């Protein structure tokens, strides 16, 4: 096992102690998603903003109108995109802001399931 270099030591905290003020604990999954989302988020903010909303709208309409499993796939893509954005924004949201995001993703996934089952 290699010893950490000078400056790489991390301060250890008691498992029951609170994180330092002003910082929220972040799990490994959140750090990984945030790191891998950096480039797509930069592209979304600097890129053609006028394409994202119409693309999601077209996928949603195709999901409602297309026959067969393609419709479910379109709706799952919309739900995944909305869920990804909600996940990234989650720490900065309060309860009233979180609930609508969860409901939208759940409703779109429910529609995808209904389309996949042929309803």
- Which has the higher per-residue pLDDT, 37 or 101? 101
Residues 6+ apart with CB under 8 A from 13: 19
What pLDDT, on the 0 to 100 scale, is given for residue 7? 41
Angstrom distance (rounded) from CA 65 to CA 36: 33
Note the pLDDT tens digit of each residue in 29-65.
888 888 887 778 787 878 777 888 889 999 999 999 9
Structure confidence at residue 74 (pLDDT): 96
Contact 85, 33 (CB under 8 A): no
Report domain extents, the chain. 28-116
2 — pLDDT class (breaks 50, 70, 90):
very low
Under the banding of pLDDT at 50, 70 and 90, the label for residue 104 is very high
Separation in Å, CA 101 to CA 37, 62, 64: 19, 21, 20
pTM above 0.85, yes or no: no
């Amino acid at each position: 096992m290699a010893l950490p270099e000078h400056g790489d030591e991390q301060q250890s905290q008691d498992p029951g102690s609170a994180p330092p003020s002003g910082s929220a604990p972040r799990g490994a999954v959140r750090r990984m998603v945030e790191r891998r989302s950096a480039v797509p988020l930069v592209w979304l903010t600097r890129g053609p903003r006028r394409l994202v909303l119409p693309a999601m709208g077209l996928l949603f309409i195709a999901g409602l109108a297309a026959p067969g499993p393609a419709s479910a796939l379109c709706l799952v893509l919309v739900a995944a995109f909305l869920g990804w954005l909600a996940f990234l924004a989650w720490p900065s949201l309060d309860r009233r802001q979180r609930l609508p995001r969860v409901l939208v993703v759940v409703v779109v996934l429910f529609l995808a399931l209904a389309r996949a089952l042929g309803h």
